[in-house]
Amino acid sequence: MPSAVKNLRYILLGLFAASSLAAFGYEWWFVWPARKCEARRAWWDPRDHQCLTPMPIWRITGRLPTTVVTGATAAKKP
């Protein structure tokens, strides 16, 4: 019986080590880059693992933004 307990101890130690490495790998691969990206105020794309800078629509269309019309000011116009 002592050999079975010894084997079980090694199996459990191996499972603990594997799960610890898996948790560290998840943090390293997914969480740390996302936190660094969000600290830069950029957008994190989890599918492609990329840190992307938001681009305003006026850069794509070429039309410069004019004054912003809100609902309150639009209602006041005749």
Q: What is the mean pLDDT of residues 41-68?
A: 85
**H or E element at residue 51:** strand 50-52
In angstroms, the CA 15 to CA 13 distance is 5
Model confidence over 18-54: pLDDT tens digits?
999 999 999 999 999 999 999 999 999 989 989 999 8
Confidence (pTM): 0.58
pLDDT of residue 75: 62
List the structure tokens of 9. Answer: 């101890």
Domain of residue 32, residue span: 2-76
Which pLDDT tens digit goes with each residue over 5-16? 889 999 999 999
> Please, which pLDDT band fits residue 69 given cuts at 50, 70 and 90?
low
Q: How many residues are given for the chain?
A: 78
When divided into structural domains, the chain yields a total of: 1
